Structure 1
């Protein structure tokens, strides 16, 4: 083996490693971004669920009040 072959092999190794690690970093950033977006959507969903739960409780109270008013009228 001559020096040129070793230099080419070494540069190929460095290029391959750089490409591999670069791809891993880009993929990791994309995954983190998508997880953050999903967390935001989950937080919005949980907010809607909490508000719906509160509204259901208020509706139950309103229905009881209406029933009480109807029984007083009768």
Structure 2
């Protein structure tokens, strides 16, 4: 009975080790995927921020042009 119990314990420990290793590998793969997605999201946010900055600059330039047009109309009339 002692030999059977030892075999059961060994099998249980092997199963535990396999489960632990499988869980660890799953966590590592999930972590890499999450990091990849975060990197892609950061790239999209950077691109969006560049568009916002360009839009802000263009709005300023349009405002200046509107003032110039208004001034020209006042000088003419």
Q: TM-score range by the shorter chain?
A: over 0.9
* Residue 61 of structure 1: aligned partner: 64
TM-score between the two structures when normalised by the length of structure 2: 0.90
Supply the distance in 2 between the matched residues of 1:30 and 1:2 (Cα, whole angstroms): 42
1:4 maps to 2:3 = no
Q: State the secondary structure of the residue aligned to 1:2.
A: helix
Give the whole-Å Cα distance in 2 for the aligned partners of 1:2 and 1:46. 65
Q: CA–CA distance in 1 between the matches of 2:5 and 2:72?
A: 100
Give the TM-score, by structure 1 length: 0.94
| 5+ long unaligned stretches in structure 2 | none
RMSD: 0.9
Q: Structure 1: which 5+ runs fail to align? A: none
Stretches (4+) displaced over 4 A: none
